[in-house]
């Protein structure tokens, strides 16, 4: 016979927490006592079905296949946005769920880090709180799922903020989808730090975290070669000074206008050099316009590549390394690797030719290869490896 579950709805919880909310200073203590009481009584929260805040997505079979970003925007537009009252109520639910989880962890003698990777969560089957292999108490898993479900709902119903605020940074040469992903993750940090007692809208607080996430991503991934954050900030001041003074301004003039040291200005100017792929087209969005490879490559029958473009050719590198060997060592290497010969020879064939043992040939080969490991040879063979 299945045991009867003791379940409270979110409406029941709201009626309780709304009474506590009038006393901001005493809210935490009252909520904590009630959270511990519910834990001891084995009371569960009846979590909201995600479909209740998502409208059906209208799909036109005749429409073209949307891009990932277009599809994401369409799905976010179907999510119902919370008003101020709903946000405050939901934030109190999250605080209450967090207090319940902390109490459950204390009863089990565990820390929050002990749950990492051990509890699974699927918004469509959130009642299955633990996998079969989970060795944690079921009530502890349930407390974790309740908290995670409530946090996820607040994040999902504010995902539109990540779409809106990404426009300020999308023109800076990084993937819009990557920025949106960073913003979505930042919303979880905003949820954890949001305090409903201040009377702010969640979006007002979340925008700060979104901007921090976008800027951090740009600082770390906006350039091919990573530039330290302090230098990137200096580059912004230098560019601003150059816009006022003109492109021919001296380092001293830029330093004076930007209120920076000349050494820092020189470092910022050096770091601001951009990189360009040799395969990128000259015209944005026009793959047929040709790229740097066609300009740098010399026209010949074999294509754009020419050995004249190399600083050190493979042949020159090998000859330079062979020049470091004794006559016997050079003879062994030439035979073993077929250099200047019709084919490669085995150790036994070389040993027979020299009249020595097979082990002696192997020793000569090892010593010769060690001598040939020169920087010139390494530079020459790297492109062919």
Are 96 and 119 found together in one domain? yes
Residue 294 falls inside a structural domain: no
Are 344 and 379 found together in one domain? yes
Percent of the chain exceeding pLDDT 70 equals: 76
Residue 113 falls inside a structural domain: yes
Q: DSSP readout, 162-177?
A: HHHHGGGTTTSSS-HH
Are 147 and 217 found together in one domain? no
pLDDT (mean) for 320-339? 83
Under 8 Å between Cβ of 291 and 280: yes
Residue 385 pLDDT level (bands cut at 50, 70, 90): very low
pLDDT (mean) for 270-284? 60
Based on the number of CB atoms within 10 Å of its own CB, is 87 exposed (0-12), middle (13-18) or buried (19 or more)?
Answer: buried
pTM attached to this predicted model: 0.62
The structural domain count of the chain equals 4
Are 325 and 380 found together in one domain? yes
Residue 17 pLDDT level (bands cut at 50, 70, 90): very high
Q: Assess whether pLDDT exceeds 90 at residue 27.
A: yes
Residue 290 falls inside a structural domain: no
Are 130 and 182 found together in one domain? no
User: Of 130, 157, 184, which marks where a domain is finished?
Assistant: 157
pLDDT (mean) for 61-65? 58
Considering only residues 176 and 233, tell me which one the structure prediction assigns the higher pLDDT.
176
Report the pLDDT value the prediction gives residue 290, as an integer from 0 to 100: 54
Question: In terms of residue numbers, what domain contains 339?
Answer: 309-384
Report the pLDDT value the prediction gives residue 85, as an integer from 0 to 100: 92
- Cα gap 281→283, rounded to integer Å: 5
CA 140 to chain CA centroid, Å, is 31
DSSP H or E run through 7: strand 7-9
Residue 121 falls inside a structural domain: yes
Residue 135 falls inside a structural domain: yes
Are 9 and 149 found together in one domain? yes
User: Of 140, 157, 174, which marks where a domain is finished?
Assistant: 157
Report the pLDDT value the prediction gives residue 325, as an integer from 0 to 100: 81
Report the pLDDT value the prediction gives residue 71, as an integer from 0 to 100: 86
Pairing of the two strands 7-9 and 44-46:
parallel
Residue 74 falls inside a structural domain: no
Q: Assess whether pLDDT exceeds 80 at residue 14.
A: yes
User: Of 157, 172, 187, which marks where a domain is finished?
Assistant: 157
Tokens coding 351: 């040993």
Are 254 and 172 found together in one domain? no
- Cα gap 214→180, rounded to integer Å: 9
Could you tell me how many helices (H) and strands (E) the chain has, helices first? Answer: 17, 2
Are 48 and 90 found together in one domain? yes
Are 207 and 342 found together in one domain? no
Condensed to tens digits (0 to 9), the pLDDT of residues 337-359 reads 888 888 888 888 888 888 888 88
Report the pLDDT value the prediction gives residue 326, as an integer from 0 to 100: 85
CATH at 317: 1.10.10.10
Residue 325 falls inside a structural domain: yes
Are 35 and 86 found together in one domain? yes
Report the pLDDT value the prediction gives residue 282, as an integer from 0 to 100: 53
Residue 315 falls inside a structural domain: yes
Residue 276 pLDDT level (bands cut at 50, 70, 90): low
Please, what is the average pLDDT of the chain?
80
Are 167 and 43 found together in one domain? no
Are 123 and 9 found together in one domain? yes
Condensed to tens digits (0 to 9), the pLDDT of residues 183-235 reads 999 999 999 999 999 988 999 999 999 999 988 888 777 665 666 767 777 87
């Amino acid at each position: 016979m299945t045991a009867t579950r003791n379940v409270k709805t979110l409406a029941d919880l709201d009626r309780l927490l709304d009474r506590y909310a009038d006393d901001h200073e005493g809210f935490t203590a009252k909520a904590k006592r009630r959270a511990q009481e519910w834990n001891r009584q084995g009371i569960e929260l009846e979590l909201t079905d995600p479909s209740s805040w998502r409208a059906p997505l209208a799909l036109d079979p005749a429409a073209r296949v949307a891009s990932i970003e277009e599809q994401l925007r369409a799905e976010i537009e179907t999510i119902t946005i919370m008003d101020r009252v709903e946000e405050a109520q939901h934030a109190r639910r999250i605080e209450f769920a967090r207090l319940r989880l902390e109490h459950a962890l204390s009863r089990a003698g565990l820390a929050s880090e002990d749950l990492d990777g051990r509890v699974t969560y699927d918004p469509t089957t959130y009642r299955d709180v633990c996998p079969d292999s989970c060795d944690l108490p079921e009530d502890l898993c349930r407390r974790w799922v309740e908290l995670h479900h409530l946090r996820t709902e607040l994040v999902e119903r504010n995902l539109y903020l990540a779409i809106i605020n990404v426009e300020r940074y999308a023109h800076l040469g990084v993937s819009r989808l990557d920025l949106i992903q960073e913003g979505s993750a930042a919303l979880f940090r905003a949820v954890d730090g949001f305090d409903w007692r201040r009377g702010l809208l969640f979006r007002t607080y979340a925008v700060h975290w979104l901007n921090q996430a976008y800027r951090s991503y740009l600082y770390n991934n906006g350039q091919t070669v990573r530039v330290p954050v302090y230098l990137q900030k200096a580059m912004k001041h230098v560019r601003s000074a150059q816009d006022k003074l003109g492109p021919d301004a001296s380092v001293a003039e830029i330093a004076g206008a930007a209120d920076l040291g000349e050494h820092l200005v020189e470092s910022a100017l050096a770091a601001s050099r951009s990189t360009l792929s040799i395969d990128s087209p000259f015209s944005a969005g026009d793959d047929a316009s040709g790229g740097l490879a066609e300009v740098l490559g010399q026209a010949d029958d074999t294509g754009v590549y020419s050995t004249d473009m190399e600083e050190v050719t493979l042949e020159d590198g090998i000859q330079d390394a062979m020049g470091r060997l004794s006559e016997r060592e050079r003879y062994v290497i030439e035979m073993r690797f077929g250099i200047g010969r019709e084919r490669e020879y085995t150790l036994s064939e070389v040993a027979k030719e020299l009249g020595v043992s097979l082990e002696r040939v192997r020793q000569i080969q090892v010593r010769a290869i060690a001598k040939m490991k020169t920087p010139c040879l390494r530079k020459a063979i790297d492109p062919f490896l």
